[in-house]
Structure 1
């Protein structure tokens, strides 16, 4: 076959390539617009709550929170002043911290120790005991309310902060052990053996090698546990002291006693929601690292 018999492939028409690029850009732009609109709809309740917390009850009753979009002068910080003057709400925020922080730290410490033991220590019945821990993941909180209430009542922990912390710790540990055990098990055995050859004991191995490597998973677990405890209402409603409730119960009591007390409810609800958001964004990098590490492994 001669060179003259070989026909070159036709070159792509410039108009067709331009149309393909234009259609791809239009599709990408439409997707971005859709995502922006969906995000705005998703954030609309939060925006409404935020603006409601800065609007006086009179303006809210007369026209709603959206009127400040055209009349920003109606925004006021009087609601937050009333909130700070409300001892029930401010005390409930402190009580919520007193419950959420210890419950989170206990789950992280005990879950890390147990996860390391199940991953790297040999002891009789380890696998069977781990199966029991995994089985506890399917136990709903509602099943334990009555028996735990009777137990706490007999030992003097009913309607106490310590009782709420212990309940959250007990129900947070199975997931913590399951998550951290699987994460710690992915650590290379050679790394641990090298540390043992250097004379590191189990405690030093745990604190100097395992914990730094498991930092992303521990941070992710801490975020989940804190959010769960902070936003909980059922356990707090049953076990917390009615005279010193956490923020979720305190807001519920405000609704029950003062149905139109929007000047306290709106800023209180926004502060209750803002604290978990601050915690999430503060540890966002560790959370993403933990999720990515788990996905890769």
Structure 2
């Protein structure tokens, strides 16, 4: 029944379902990272990104107003206010279900209960965050009393994470510098191997010379060489000739690691081009360089674009090669992946900043992929149908 016209075989449905699952596996983490980059630290710590559009119950640490706002009423010193307003939140958008004066027992009191604090002072908090604190002695210190609350808060999405990271935060200079450093590494490391591989692929596909088959076998063999195996010897070579601490060294490293795949893909693509076009050009007196420049390159654009996408994505997301070949203690050549690792080390608890930094890092690869995906598909499918 699978061969009846107008019906789809079971294998077709398997392929469609598999593709849908792969898309979902890639899409869900990306969407989650994007949404998390707009959430606050309290929201991220409380629930998953899929609850971002719904009210959530959070454990918050708030403070009363500072003691310099107290007023004396008879023999009592009083401080009145709203915990959410003091914390910079809207006063009418959260509801407190429990509160406490110690982090060990956040739910010790219900809204309206009176809690005893130091020196005979008392504190009461209602469900909207309004509090009343009074005591027989003047309150001292530069900060208010800490209050731990369990509150149901409305959904909140904010641009503060991006503002703090890119414009006004203490990591602004590092991230902006890292972004341009990554561009400085990625663009040449994508263009250089394409230029070299295009010439090599044409020679291996259309030029007859001794040892061509051996060279093709060597290229195929280099595909299985682990990158980690060549890191230290290559770094020693770069240091010996004086290019091991700058951009030139990392450009050449990415070129060397990317050339085998580039030559292999481009050679297979160029070998599948119509032979008649090449032979007619040679009969007309065209040189090999003219054939390569005016015929092969335009026809091979889908394959060139396909490899450019892969090389760009791999180079942009690279951490290992950058760590090894960009030796710089001052941070002047730090790329974005390394900068995010530094953020993880210094601000491991600030998940909202890490999510924002991670999404900023993947924004450019996503743009490049979606802008050039039609060329990627054409390059991958070229030669599959004659």
Q: For residue 296 of structure 2, what is the aligned residue in structure 1?
A: 210
* 1:99-110 correspondence runs (5 A): 99-110=185-196
The unaligned stretches of length 5 or more in structure 1 are 1-23
Kept in 1, the 8 Å contact 2:179–2:336? The answer is yes
Give the structure-2-normalised TM-score: 0.65
Would you say how many aligned residue pairs link Structure 1 and Structure 2?
271
Q: For residue 220 of structure 1, what is the aligned residue in structure 2?
A: 306
Kept in 2, the 8 Å contact 1:83–1:90? The answer is no
Greater displacement, 75-84 / 116-125: 116-125
Deviations 1:251-282 (A, max 9, x none): 11111122113232111101222221211111
The reply on whether 1:152 has 2:238 as its aligned counterpart is yes
Kept in 2, the 8 Å contact 1:159–1:239? The answer is yes
* 1:1-297 correspondence runs (5 A): 39-40=23-24, 42-70=26-54, 74-85=156-167, 86-242=172-328, 243=331, 244-296=333-385
CA distance in 1, matches of 2:345, 2:254: 26
CA distance in 2, matches of 1:33, 1:74: 35
**Structural RMSD (CA):** 2.5
Post-superposition, which runs of at least 4 consecutive aligned residues in structure 1 deviate over 6 A? 31-38
Name the SS for the 1:69 alignment partner: coil
Greater RCO (Cα-Cα under 8 Å, separation 6 or more): 1
Deviations 1:102-123 (A, max 9, x none): 1111111111110001111122
The unaligned stretches of length 5 or more in structure 2 are 1-7, 56-153
Residues 42, 92 of structure 1: CA spacing in aligned structure 2 closer, same or farther, 3 A cutoff?
Answer: same
Name the SS for the 1:60 alignment partner: helix
Cα distance, 1:88 vs structure 2: 1.2
Cα distance, 1:203 vs structure 2: 1.6
CA distance in 2, matches of 1:127, 1:194: 25
Residues 157, 261 of structure 1: CA spacing in aligned structure 2 closer, same or farther, 3 A cutoff?
Answer: farther
CA distance in 1, matches of 2:385, 2:365: 27
